[in-house]
C-alpha cells in the first residue's frame, strides 16, 4: 500500500467504496490527501447510500455517523445532539388520475406540504375560474381545479375557503417547471392540495365533471434526529466560534426520484469539514464548535436546538448553506439584510480582499435562526444564478452540477476568516454597536 498513487482518483474511489461499506473510517489509515477527502466527502453525502439525507431516516443517520467519525478522528470532542424534527414525508408514490389519464408525480403535479393533508380522494372534477358564478354547495365533495391564479392570489386563504366549503381536494396551476420543487414543511392541512403544471391544468380544464382519483401518501410527523457536534478547545475558553452547515436534505421520493442535495447542502458540509481539517492542525486562540445541523429543510429545527442547548455559549457563528453553483467564487451571499453585524462585516472585508463581492441579502436558512437571537453571525452561501437557480430542491441538484474548484476557494477563504476573528475586537465592536443603538434610542425619544 506504500506506493499508492494519490493522483489516481479511481484508486482512491475504489478504496473509498470499501469505507462506505465499513461506515466508519478505519483509524490510523488516514492517508488520503485532503484534496481527495473533499471529493470523497461530497461523493458520500450525495451517494445512493445517503439517499437525500431526509431528517429522521436511516440514511440521514448514516451520514450523521460518518460526520461524527470524521470529527472524532480530527481530535474534536464529538457527540450527537438529539433534535425532534417535524416534517412532511411521502411514504409511497402519489397518484393522480382524471378520467382515464394518469399524471406523473413531481413532473406533472406535486404536493404542497405546508397546506396539504395526506389522504385518498375520489370525486368529480370542478374547474373554477375567477368570474364563474357558483353556489357554495356546488363545491361540496368536489375536486377543485384552479386553472389560473388571479392577480393577488392568496393560497392560504384559498385553501381555508375550500376546506370550509367541503372541497375534497384542491389543484392549483403553478407554471411549467421541468421538475416541481420538493418541500418537507409541515402544516395542519385538512385536504390534499397539489400544484399542477400549466399544461396539465389546461388539459384538465377540458375535463369538467371527470372522475378524479387522488392518492397522496403524505405523513406529517415528528421524528428523532441528531445534530452532529464537534468541540475543539482553544487556548482560551471564553470565546466559542461555531461553524455550522445543515446536512439534511429532502430524501428520495418513493419510487425512485432522487433528491441528492449536492449544492443544498452537501457542499456546505464538505466545506466546513475541510475547514475543520485545516484548523484541527493548529492550536486556536478560542474554542471551535463544528455543528452539522439537521431539520433545516422543514424549519431550522437543528439550529434552534443548538441555540437552546449549546455545549458552550455561542459567541459567534459562521453558517454555510450552498456553495459551488458557479464556476467562480466571485460573490457570496451574506445572511443579513444590511450592515451592522461585526462578524458579517469582517467576513465582507476578507471576501473583498480576495475580489469576492458580498451580497447583503436576508432570507431563510440556519443563519436566520442565529441572527434572530442577536448572535454575531456570518451567513455564507452562493446565490445560484441562471440554470443553477432552477435546480434547487429538484433531482437536478447533483454533484455533477457543482464546481469543485469554487468549493476549494470557499474553504480557503473560510479558513482565513476564522483565523482573522479577534474575540476582543468582536466584543469591542459589539459594545460600540450597543452604545450606538442606545444613543439612537435616546435620540429618537
Ligand atoms: Zn433547501
Q: How far is the CA of 264 from the centre of ligand 1 (A)?
A: 5
Nearest CA-CA partner of 281 in 232, 332, 328, 223:
232
Q: What is the pLDDT of residue 433?
A: 55
Give the angle subtended at the CA of 361 by the CAs of 395 and 377, to the nearest 5°.
100
Distance from the alpha carbon of residue 401 to the mean position of ligand 1, in angstroms: 16
pLDDT of residue 435 exceeding 60? no
Neighbours of 313 (CB within 10 A): 10
- In tens, the pLDDT along 72-126 reads 999 999 999 999 999 999 999 999 999 999 999 999 999 999 999 999 999 999 9
- Residues of the chain by 3-state class (helix, strand, coil), percent to 5: 35, 25, 40
How sure is the predictor about 10, in pLDDT bands with cuts at 50, 70 and 90? Answer: very low
DSSP per-residue codes, 127-149? E--TT----GGGGTT-EEEESS-
What fold, for 94-216?
Answer: Glucose Oxidase; domain 1 (3.50.30)
Q: Dihedrals φ, ψ of 348, to 5°?
A: -65, -40
Ranges in the chain annotated CATH 3.50.30.30: 94-216
Ligand 1 center from residue 393 Cα (angstroms) = 6
331 Cα: distance to centroid of ligand 1 (angstroms): 19
Q: 357 pairs with which residues across the strands?
A: 331
**248 CA to middle of ligand 1, Å?**
8
State the Cα–Cα distance between residues 317 and 290, nearest whole angstrom. Answer: 10
- Closest by CA to 407, choosing from 325, 319, 290, is 325
Most confident option among 142-146, 423-427, 438-442: 142-146
Angle, vertex CA 202, rays to CA 182 and CA 98, nearest 5: 75
CATH 3.40.630.10 residue window(s) in the chain = 12-84+225-432
Q: What is the pLDDT of residues 373-420, one digit of tens each?
A: 999 999 999 988 887 788 999 999 999 999 999 999 999 999 999 999
Averaged pLDDT for residues 27-40: 69
Cα–Cα–Cα angle for 384, 387, 391, rounded to 5 degrees: 75
pLDDT of residue 384: 85
Q: How far is the CA of 410 from the centre of ligand 1 (A)?
A: 19
Confidence bin at 429 (pLDDT 50/70/90): low
Query: Could you tell me the maximum CA-CA distance found in the chain, to the nearest angstrom?
Result: 81
pLDDT at site 38: 94
Distance CA 169, CA 69 (A): 46
Q: How sure is the predictor about 209, in pLDDT bands with cuts at 50, 70 and 90?
A: very high
pLDDT digits (tens, 9 = 90+) for 121-176: 999 999 999 888 888 889 999 999 999 998 889 999 999 999 999 999 999 999 99
**Ligand 1 mean position, distance from CA 53 (Å):** 11
**Residues ≥6 apart with Cβ < 8 Å to 374:** none
* pLDDT tens per residue, range 358-367: 999 988 999 9
Phi, psi of 409 (to 5 degrees): -60, -40
Top-confidence residue, 22 or 432: 432
Cα(214)–Cα(180) distance, integer angstroms: 18
How far, in Å, from the CA of 388 to the mean position of ligand 1? Answer: 13
Residue 236 confidence (pLDDT) above 80: yes
Residue 237 burial (C-beta neighbours within 10 Å; 0-12, 13-18, 19+): exposed
In CATH, what is the architecture of 12-84+225-432? Answer: 3-Layer(aba) Sandwich (3.40)
d(CA 84, CA 344): 30
Residue 300 zone, left/alpha/beta (φ > 0; ψ -120 to 50; rest): left
Please list all protein residues whose beta carbon sits less than 5 angstroms from ligand 1, which is an ion: 264
50 CA to centre of ligand 1 in angstroms = 16
Res 436 pLDDT > 70: no
How many angstroms separate the alpha carbon of residue 183 from the centre of ligand 1? Answer: 8
List the strands of the sheet with 101-103, edge to edge: 101-103, 95-98, 211-216, 119-127, 143-146, 169-173, 193-196, 109-111
Amino acid at each position: 500500500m506504500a506506493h499508492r498513487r494519490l493522483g489516481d482518483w479511481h484508486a482512491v474511489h475504489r478504496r473509498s467504496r470499501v469505507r462506505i461499506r465499513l461506515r466508519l473510517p478505519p483509524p490510523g489509515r488516514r492517508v488520503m490527501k485532503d484534496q481527495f477527502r473533499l471529493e470523497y466527502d461530497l461523493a458520500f453525502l450525495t451517494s445512493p447510500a445517503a439517499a437525500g439525507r431526509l431528517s429522521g431516516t436511516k440514511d440521514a443517520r448514516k451520514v450523521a455517523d460518518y460526520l461524527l467519525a470524521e470529527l472524532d478522528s480530527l481530535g474534536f470532542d464529538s457527540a450527537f445532539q438529539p433534535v425532534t424534527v417535524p416534517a412532511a414525508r411521502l411514504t409511497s408514490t402519489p397518484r393522480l388520475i382524471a378520467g382515464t389519464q394518469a399524471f406523473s408525480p413531481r413532473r406533472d403535479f406535486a404536493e404542497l406540504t405546508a397546506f396539504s393533508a395526506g389522504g385518498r380522494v375520489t370525486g368529480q372534477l370542478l374547474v373554477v375560474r375567477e368570474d364563474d358564478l357558483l353556489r357554495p354547495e356546488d363545491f361540496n365533495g368536489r375536486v377543485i381545479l384552479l386553472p389560473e391564479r388571479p392577480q393577488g392570489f392568496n393560497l392560504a386563504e384559498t385553501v381555508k375557503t375550500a376546506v370550509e366549503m367541503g372541497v375534497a381536494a384542491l389543484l392549483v396551476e403553478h407554471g411549467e417547471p421541468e421538475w416541481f420543487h420538493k418541500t418537507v414543511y409541515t402544516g395542519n392541512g385538512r385536504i390534499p392540495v397539489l400544484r399542477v403544471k400549466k399544461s396539465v391544468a389546461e388539459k384538465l380544464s377540458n375535463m369538467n365533471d371527470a372522475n378524479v382519483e387522488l392518492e397522496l401518501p403524505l405523513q406529517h410527523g415528528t421524528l428523532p434526529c441528531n445534530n452532529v457536534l464537534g468541540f475543539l478547545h482553544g487556548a482560551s475558553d471564553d470565546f466559542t466560534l461555531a461553524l455550522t452547515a445543515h446536512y439534511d436534505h429532502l430524501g428520495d421520493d418513493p419510487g425512485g426520484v432522487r433528491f441528492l442535495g449536492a449544492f443544498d447542502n452537501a457542499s456546505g458540509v464538505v466545506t466546513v469539514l475541510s475547514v475543520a481539517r485545516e484548523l484541527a492542525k493548529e492550536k486556536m486562540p478560542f474554542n471551535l464548535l463544528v455543528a452539522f445541523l439537521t431539520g433545516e429543510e422543514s424549519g431550522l429545527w437543528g439550529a434552534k436546538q443548538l441555540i437552546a442547548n449549546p455545549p458552550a455559549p455561542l459567541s459567534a457563528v459562521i453558517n454555510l448553506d450552498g456553495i459551488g453553483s458557479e464556476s467562480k467564487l466571485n460573490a457570496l451571499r451574506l445572511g443579513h439584510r444590511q450592515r451592522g453585524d461585526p462578524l458579517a462585516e469582517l467576513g465582507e472585508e476578507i471576501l473583498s480582499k480576495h475580489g469576492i463581492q458580498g451580497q447583503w441579502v436576508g432570507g431563510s436558512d440556519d443563519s436566520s435562526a442565529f441572527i434572530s437571537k442577536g448572535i454575531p453571525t456570518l451567513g455564507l452561501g452562493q446565490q445560484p444564478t441562471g440554470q443553477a437557480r432552477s435546480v434547487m430542491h429538484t433531482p437536478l441538484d447533483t454533484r455533477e452540477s457543482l464546481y469543485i474548484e469554487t468549493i476549494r476557494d470557499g474553504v480557503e477563504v473560510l479558513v482565513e476568516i476564522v483565523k482573522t476573528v479577534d474575540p476582543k475586537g468582536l466584543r469591542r465592536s459589539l459594545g460600540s454597536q450597543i452604545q450606538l443603538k442606545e444613543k439612537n434610542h435616546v435620540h429618537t425619544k
